[in-house]
Chains A and B, each alone.
Chain A
Amino acid sequence: MNAMIATRREFTAGIGAIVVAFSIDPKLALTQQAAPLPGSLAQNRMLDAWIRINTDGTATIFPGKVELGQGITTALTQIAAEELDLSLGRVRVLTTDTSYSPNEGVTSGSQSIEYGGTALRLASAEVRGILLDLAAKRFGVSADTLTVADGTIGSRDRRKVGYGELAADLDLHREATAKIAPKLVAAHKIVGKSIQRFDIPKKVTGGIAFVQDIRLPEMVHGRIVRPPRPGSKLDSVDVAAVQAMPGVVAVVRDGSFLGVIAEREEQAIKARQALIESARWTLGPELPDPAKIYDVLLALPAEDTVISNKQAPVPEGATVIEATYRKPYIAHASIGPSCAVAEFKNGEMTVWTHSQGIFPLRNHLSLGLRLPIADIRCIHAEGSGCYGQNGADDVGLDAALLARAVAPRPVRLQWMRDDELWEPYGPAMIMRVKAALADGKIAEWNYDLWSNTHSTRPTEIGGNNLLASWYLANAQNQAPPRTIPQPAGGGDRNAIPLYDFPRQRVVHHFIKEMPLRVSALRTLGAYSNVFAIESFLDELARAAKADPIAFRLAHLKDSRARAAIESVARNANWKDGEAGDGRRGRGIGFAKYKNLSVFVAVIAEVEVDAASGVIKVPRAFAVADAGQIVNPDGLTNQIQGGIIQSTSWTLHEQVRFNRDGITSRDWQGYPILTMQEVPHVAVELIDRPSEKSLGAGEGAQGPAVAAIANAFANATGKRIRELPLTPDRVKAALG
Chain B
Amino acid sequence: MVLRLKVNGTMRSSPAEADTPLLYVLRNDLELNGAKFGCGLAQCGACTVLVDGRATRSCVTPIGTLGESEITTIEGLGTIEKPHPLQRAFVEEQAAQCGYCINGMIMTAKELLDRTPKPTEADVRAALDANLCRCGTHGRIIRAVLKAAELAGRI
Q: Main SS of the interface on chain A? A: loop
Q: Which of A195-203, A599-607, A655-663 contacts B (4 or more CB under 8 A)?
A: A195-203
Q: Which of A69, A199, A382, A680 has most B Cβ within 10 Å?
A: A69
Q: How far is the CA of A308 from the CA of B16 in the complex (A)?
A: 63
Instruction: Indicate whether A642 sits within 8 Å of B136 (C-beta atoms), given known contacts A199-B99, A264-B24, A675-B125.
Output: yes
A44 interfacial by beta-carbon distance below 8 Å: no
Q: Interface code A234-246, partner B: CB below 8 Å = 1, 0 otherwise? A: 0000000000001
| Cβ of A465 under 8 Å from chain B | no
Known: A200-B99, A203-B102. A336 touches B128 (CB 8 A): no
Give chain B interface residues in 119-143, CB to chain A under 8 Å: 124-126, 128-142
* B33, CB-defined interface residue at 8 Å: yes
> Which of A77-85, A184-192, A204-212, A714-722 interfaces with chain B?
A204-212
| Contact A672–B134 (Cβ < 8 Å) | yes
Query: Closest approach, in angstroms, between the C-beta of B35 and any C-beta of chain A?
Result: 8
Rounded to whole angstroms, the CA-CA distance of A417 and B102 in the bound complex is 18
Which of A334, A336, A387 gathers the greatest number of chain B CB atoms within 10 Å? Answer: A336
Residues of A within 8 A of B90 (CB): 200, 204
Which of chain A's residues has its CB closest to B36's CB? A336
Tell me whether A640 and B125 are in contact (CB under 8 A): no
Q: Which of B16, B86, B91, B135 has the most CB of A within 10 A?
A: B135
B155 to chain A, nearest CB (A): 18
CA distance A633 to B92 in the complex (A): 11
User: Total A-B residue pairs with C-beta atoms closer than 8 Å?
Assistant: 180
Given contacts A205-B87, A672-B134, contact A197 B78 (CB under 8 A): no
If A201-B80, A206-B73, A335-B100 touch, whether A641 touches B136 (CB-CB below 8 Å) is yes
A200 and B36: CB pair below 8 A? no
Check A333 for interface membership: any CB of B closer than 8 A. Answer: yes
Q: B38 to chain A: closest CB distance in Å?
A: 5
Q: Does B46 contact A (CB under 8 A)?
A: yes
Interfacial chain A residues near B97, Cβ < 8 Å: 69-71, 385, 637, 641
Please give, as numbers and ranges, the residues of chain A lying within 8 Å of B139 by CB-CB distance. Answer: 640, 644, 678, 680-681
Q: A208-B33, A265-B28 are in contact. Are A196 and B94 (CB under 8 A)?
A: yes
Q: Residue A667 at the B interface, CB < 8 A?
A: yes
Partner of A205, one of B75, B98, B134, B141: B75
Knowing A206-B32, A206-B75, A337-B38, say if A197 contacts B133 (CB, 8 Å).
no
Q: Which A residues, 325 to 340, have Cβ-Cβ distances below 8 Å to chain B?
A: 333-337
Contacting pair A203 B134 (CB below 8 A): no
What chain A residues lie within 8 Å of B137 (beta carbons)? Answer: 637, 640-641, 644
Does the CB pair A209–B134 fall under 8 Å? no
**B residues within 8 A CB of A266?**
16-17, 20-21, 24
| Least CB distance, B97 to chain A, in whole angstroms | 4
B33 near A69: Cβ-Cβ < 8 Å: no
Given known contacts A205-B83, A414-B37, is B126 in contact with A676 (CB within 8 Å)?
Answer: yes
Q: Do B134 and A333 have beta carbons less than 8 Å apart?
A: yes
What residues of A have a CB within 8 angstroms of the CB of B21 in the complex? 266
Q: Are A676 and B28 in contact (CB under 8 A)?
A: no
Chain A, residue nearest B83 (CB): A205
Tell which of B20, B100, B136 touches A645, judged by Cβ atoms closer than 8 Å: B136
Q: Specify the chain B residue showing the minimal Cβ separation from A415.
A: B37
With a CB–CB cut-off of 8 A, which chain A residues contact B46? 335-336
Contact A206 to B37, CB < 8 A, known contacts A70-B97, A384-B98: no
Report yes or no: A667 in contact with B136, Cβ–Cβ below 8 A: no
B-side contacts of A633, CB under 8 Å:
94
> Is B68 engaged at the interface, CB distance under 8 Å to the other chain?
no
> A675 is contacted by which of B38, B79, B106, B138 (Cβ under 8 Å)?
B138
- B117 contacts partner chain A, Cβ-Cβ < 8 Å: no
Please give the distance in Å from A216's CB to the nearest CB on chain B: 12
B64 within 8 A of A: no
- Bound together, the chains give a CA A412 to CA B78 distance in angstroms of 28
Shortest C-beta distance, A181 to chain B (Å), equals 32
Q: Given that A266-B17, A337-B37, A337-B38 are known contacts, is A204 also in contact with B32, CB under 8 Å in the complex?
A: no
- Of the residues A201, A207, A641, contact of B33 by C-beta under 8 Å: A207
Count B-side interface residues using an 8 Å CB cutoff. Answer: 60
Instruction: Report yes or no: B31 in contact with A215, Cβ–Cβ below 8 A.
Output: yes
- Among A196, A221, A644, A645, which residue has its beta carbon within 8 angstroms of that of B91? A196
Q: CB-defined interface of B69-112 with A at 8 Å, one 1/0 digit per residue?
A: 00001110111100100110011001011111111001000000
Among residues 635 to 685 in chain A, which have CB atoms less than 8 Å away from a CB atom of chain B?
Answer: 637, 640-645, 648, 666-668, 672-676, 678, 680-681
The interface residues of chain B lying within 8 Å CB-to-CB of A208 are: 33
With both chains docked as a complex, state the minimum distance between the C-beta of A367 and any C-beta of chain B, in angstroms: 29
Residues of chain B with a CB closer than 8 A to A71's CB: 97
B39 within 8 A of A: yes
Q: How far is the CA of A200 from the CA of B105 in the complex (A)?
A: 14
| B residues in contact with A668, CB < 8 Å | 43
Cβ contact within 8 Å between B136 and A640:
yes
- Given A265-B24, A674-B130, are A204 and B41 also a contact pair (CB < 8 Å)? no
Does A539 count as interface, using CB distance less than 8 angstroms?
A: no
B94 touches A200 (CB 8 A): yes
Does A213 interact with chain B (Cβ within 8 Å)? yes
* CB interface residues, B 3-61, toward A, < 8 Å: 16-17, 20-21, 24, 27-28, 31-34, 36-41, 43-44, 46
Candidates A204, A641, A645; contact of B102 at CB < 8 Å: A204
Chain A residues with CB below 8 A from B74, complex form: 204-206
14 new A-B pairs (CB below 8 Å) besides A69-B98, A335-B100, A637-B140? A200-B90, A203-B96, A203-B99, A204-B83, A208-B33, A212-B37, A265-B24, A334-B100, A334-B134, A335-B133, A417-B41, A641-B136, A648-B136, A675-B131
By a beta-carbon cutoff of 8 Å, the part of chain B in contact with chain A is 16-17, 20-21, 24, 27-28, 31-34, 36-41, 43-44, 46, 73-75, 77-80, 83, 86-87, 90-91, 94, 96-103, 106, 124-126, 128-142
Query: What is A's interface to B at a CB cutoff of 8 Å?
Result: 68-71, 196-197, 199-210, 212-213, 215, 221, 246, 264-266, 269, 333-337, 382-385, 387, 414, 416-417, 633-634, 637, 640-645, 648, 666-668, 672-676, 678, 680-681
Can you name 10 A-B pairs with beta carbons within 8 Å?
A69-B135, A335-B133, A383-B100, A414-B37, A640-B137, A644-B137, A648-B136, A667-B132, A674-B132, A676-B125
